[in-house]
Amino acid sequence: MAHCCSDNEYDPQAKSVAEAREAILAASIPVSGRESVPLGNALGRVLADDIHAPADIPAWSNSAMDGYALRSRDGDTARRIIGRSFAGHPFNGTVGAGECVRIMTGAVIPEGADAVLVQEQAVIRDTQVYPQILCTAGANIRNAGEDLRAGALALEAGTWLRPAQIGVLASLGIPEIPAYRRLRVAFFSTGDELRPLGSDLGPGQIYDSNRYTLHAMLQRLGCEILDLGRVADDPGQLQQTLHSAAAMADMVITTGGVSVGDADHIAELLGRLGTIHFWKMNMKPGRPLAFGQLDKATFFGLPGNPVSTVVTFYQFVRPSILKRMGKTAPWTAPALLLPLAEDLKKKPGRTDFQRGRLLQTPAGLQVAGVGRQASHIMSGLSHADCLIILAAEAEHAKAGSLVEVQLLEGLV
């Protein structure tokens, strides 16, 4: 057994992050319920059907620039302006030899024209345009169907809708989309020491901060959230709350009470109520984790230390939620490889998820730790924009070495 001051934290009985995530994902079955959602409310929802383009996008060949629509084969000879084609106001005639049409970005290319001369490359005198360059056929024209052909697969079922996908659906003219129903997630905090915000703290008491962090993380994922409050370390109350949580939700999450000290009565309780595994995780922070099935609900018992709650949520709960929401893979955030700007301390044995900050340096993007890394230091996490993942066997990462980094903030 490891001794308290050992330089190695390896525990042969502990589960690796990858092993645990694999088991969790295998047990995370997507919801099948679906509903129609107005596009304006569809951000963060998952498409339940493939979406095909009902028509060519763009529907008409149109100009990519402000300029003059003309026939390329007439070379650099002067052209007479015979009309205009503005966005929403097409030109109805035909462009013939020695002619052109004043055209704006997005306006329909008139009959007869096969190129657009950019206005900066034209000299205008009266109604004559003198091209300063030769236009090739197709120059500055966006062809009909260039983005999507009528009938083409625009978005696949299982797509998680971000702003760009909402934009594609809008460009197809689709006002309502088929979405999987939202995942219902019930959660509560456990601990005799926890007090609600706004109350005075007695000796040994702390504010129930995890409940707010969890709520925010679930909000980001667009879950239907059922906040069941805080429950004391009392087997009777815990049992009752777990029961009602499992009856009302697809997933139940608790924080606290899974560490070795007080795990025993919860483990015993959950063992009777469902199929729950208590895992000792080979990671830091976040050693204890409970996972399994409670009636029809997926159950996660996260460690109570605030940073552990967040790190285990991102590594295990978020992938499970995304999969259960109906999203297709990937369910985990990608890892980038970046050079370390400083030495980082680490003991071999457990995968470290250190809180880090990206640095713009003259040598390019680098990453540094945020300082104190203990699992109760929430302020460190609040200054972090990434997690630095140091492999279980690694020891003292050196400045300049490449490390895996997971960004906490997505772009969209």
Helix pair 260-273, 235-248: axis angle to 10 deg: 50
| 273 is an interface residue for ligand AMP by CB under 6 A | no
Q: Which residue is nearest to ligand AMP (CB)?
A: 304
How many residues lie near ligand AMP (CB under 6 A)?
18
| 208 is an interface residue for ligand AMP by CB under 6 A | yes
| 254 is an interface residue for ligand AMP by CB under 6 A | no
With CB under 6 A as the contact rule, the residue among 67, 158, 257, 356 that binds ligand AMP is 257
With CB under 6 A as the contact rule, the residue among 28, 140, 210, 351 that binds ligand AMP is 210
Question: 169 to 198, contacts with ligand AMP by CB under 6 A?
Answer: 189, 191, 193-194
Say how far apart CA 116 and CA 99 lie, in whole Å. Answer: 12
With CB under 6 A as the contact rule, the residue among 67, 110, 158, 256 that binds ligand AMP is 256
Say how far apart CA 337 and CA 379 lie, in whole Å. Answer: 25
Shortest reach from residue 301's CB to ligand AMP, in Å: 9
| 288 is an interface residue for Mg ion by CB under 5 A | no
Shortest reach from residue 279's CB to Mg ion, in Å: 18
Shortest reach from residue 332's CB to ligand AMP, in Å: 24
Nearer to ligand AMP, 56 or 208 (CB): 208
Say how far apart CA 379 and CA 307 lie, in whole Å. Answer: 9
| 255 is an interface residue for ligand AMP by CB under 6 A | yes
| 90 is an interface residue for Mg ion by CB under 5 A | no
Query: What does the binding site for ligand AMP look like in residue numbers (CB under 6 A)?
Result: 189, 191, 193-194, 206, 208-211, 255-259, 303-306
